[in-house]
Amino acid sequence: DNAGAVELAKRVIALQPAAEAGQRRVAWTVIAHAAFEAGRFAEAEAGYREVLALAPDQAPIAERLATAIYRQGEAD
């Protein structure tokens, strides 16, 4: 249920005070993966950038970011 997962992830991101970095990283990963799977590559790119800002040593996420950027170029 990607829609439900994304809705919950967005609530985690919006928490005040802010959720811990690990929780925000997971939430952004859910959002980015769901957007990628739906073909919304610009949204996926933004999400993956948030993930990398919270945990820059994520090689698989960096690869998905690169793919999301590439797919946007293919669509143009």
Give per-residue pLDDT as tens, 17-41: 999 999 999 999 999 999 999 999 9
Contact (Cβ atoms closer than 8 angstroms) between residue 35 and residue 47 = yes
Give the best-scoring range by mean pLDDT among 4-8, 53-57, 64-68: 4-8
Give the pLDDT of residue 23: 96
Mean pLDDT of the chain: 94
Q: Percent of the chain at pLDDT above 90?
A: 79
pLDDT confidence tier of residue 56, bands split at 50, 70 and 90 = confident
Which residue from 45, 42, 33 is spatially nearest to 6, judged by alpha carbons?
33
